[in-house]
Chains A and B, each alone.
Chain A
Amino acid sequence: MSSNSLLTEEVLALRGRTVSYTAPEPAGAAAGRYFGLAIGDDNPLYADPDYARAHGLAGVTWPLTLVCETNQYAGLPADADGYAGHTWGLDLPGTRQVRGGNAYVFHRRIRPDDVIVATWCIDDVVGKVTGSGHEMVIITSTARYATDAGEPLAQNAETLIFVGLEQKA
């Protein structure tokens, strides 16, 4: 058993946990066009099929990072704070949660007729102590996105950090 009090058996048991969500319908062109509008990206690859075809694509595509927004496939109800996505059910009292970063790999562009399957796995759970003596738990996970035929589309590795509010050392 680790001396890090945040690194409980329950937390360690998260290693290797996997969930999978399959979109209930094809990706569609409107979702990509709307994402482009929302982010302020007016690239015609997302809205103009003639332009996209002139540059070697079969038609319009999604802005690349949209595929990694897993909530759209999960179909989960929103909680009291409005969050409608997957959580690992992890509640660590006395901590604050910090997002560490992202590492995307994109294999190909999303086509409107793609049916997307998201498979999300916890790769590792590690306990550390900050330089100021606060315990923390670092959770790394990777979400992989593929078509329903198994064709790889993208992956997104994320780091989530829970930092203890109380100074231990």
Chain B
Amino acid sequence: MSTVPSPGLGDFAAVQAAVEAGQQVPPLERTIALVDMVAYAGATWDWYRSHYDPAFVEAAALPAPIVDGQVFGALLVEQLQDWLGPRSFVHELAFTFKNLVFAGETVRCEGTVTEVDEDRLTAEMQVVVVGEDGTASRVAVAGGRAVVLLGTADGPGAA
């Protein structure tokens, strides 16, 4: 897999020059434990019991508490920001939910650069659930598209 190392302060231009269409975004893999979900519920003021209460979801015939879908938006931003460094800004991010993800499962955020311009790149993104053998067992989020502004730490509204 062709990847660009995460840039440190001052080497952004080299990274920008190295990014090209077809390139894989370095994947971000995360196991989402129940305690993480409790922390996320607190951080977002979203205390809906399906996100942390095993008894509540058992009554709905679900195997475990459901990971809040917005978690995947946060992880995709983290993946892109970590790769492109502090002088980049995720301006647009869109995706479609495909399957629920449950407490204790591991997800992997994946992406492919589709277009690179002077000041931005576009990438297709998805999130898969990773099985015990490390392969994708199902798709959690598909049809993702991100537009990332390059060379700026903040968005166009900051001017």
Asked whether A and B interact, the reply is yes
* Interface residues in chain A, defined as those with a beta carbon under 8 Å from any beta carbon in chain B: 31, 34-35, 37-41, 43, 45, 51-52, 54-57, 63-66, 68-69, 71-72, 78, 81-85, 98-109, 151-153
Tell me which of A51, A85, A99 contacts B46 (CB under 8 A): A85
Closest to B155 in A: A108
Write the nearest CB–CB distance from B124 to chain A, whole angstroms: 14
Residue of A nearest to B49 (CB): A82
- Establish whether residues A84 and B46, one from each chain, have CB atoms under 8 Å apart when the complex forms: yes
> Separation in Å of the A65 CB from the closest CB of chain B?
5
Do A55 and B47 contact each other (CB < 8 Å), given the known contacts A38-B36, A99-B69, A109-B158? no
Contacting pair A68 B70 (CB below 8 A): yes
Interface residues on chain B, number (Cβ under 8 Å): 45
The 4 A-B pairs of least Cβ separation, nearest first, read A107-B157, A108-B157, A103-B94, A38-B39
Digitize B93-134: 1 where CB-to-A-CB distance is under 8 Å, 0 elsewhere: 111110000000000000000000000000000000000000
Q: By the criterion CB–CB under 8 Å, are B78 and A37 in contact? A: no
Judge whether A107 and B156 touch: CB under 8 Å. Answer: yes
Give the shortest distance, in Å, between A160 (CB) and chain B (any CB).
11
In the complex where A54-B9, A101-B97, A103-B94 touch, is A108 in contact with B47 (Cβ < 8 A)? no
Which residues of B from 72 to 108 have beta carbons under 8 Å from A?
73-75, 77-78, 81-82, 86-87, 89-97
A69 with B45: in contact, given A63-B77, A108-B158 (CB under 8 Å)?
yes
Give A80's nearest chain B residue, CB to CB: B49
- Compute how far the CA of A78 lies from the CA of B71 in the bound complex, rounded to whole angstroms: 21
Contact of A39 among B45, B47, B49, B75 (CB under 8 A): B75
Given that A39-B78, A65-B70 are contacting pairs, would A151 and B45 also be in contact in the complex, using a CB cutoff of 8 Å? no
**B94 contacts across to A, CB distance below 8 A:** 101-104
Bound CA–CA A75/B81 (angstroms): 31
Q: A39-B74, A56-B87 are in contact. Are A104 and B46 (CB under 8 A)?
A: no
The answer to whether the Cβ of B143 comes within 8 Å of any Cβ in the partner chain is: yes
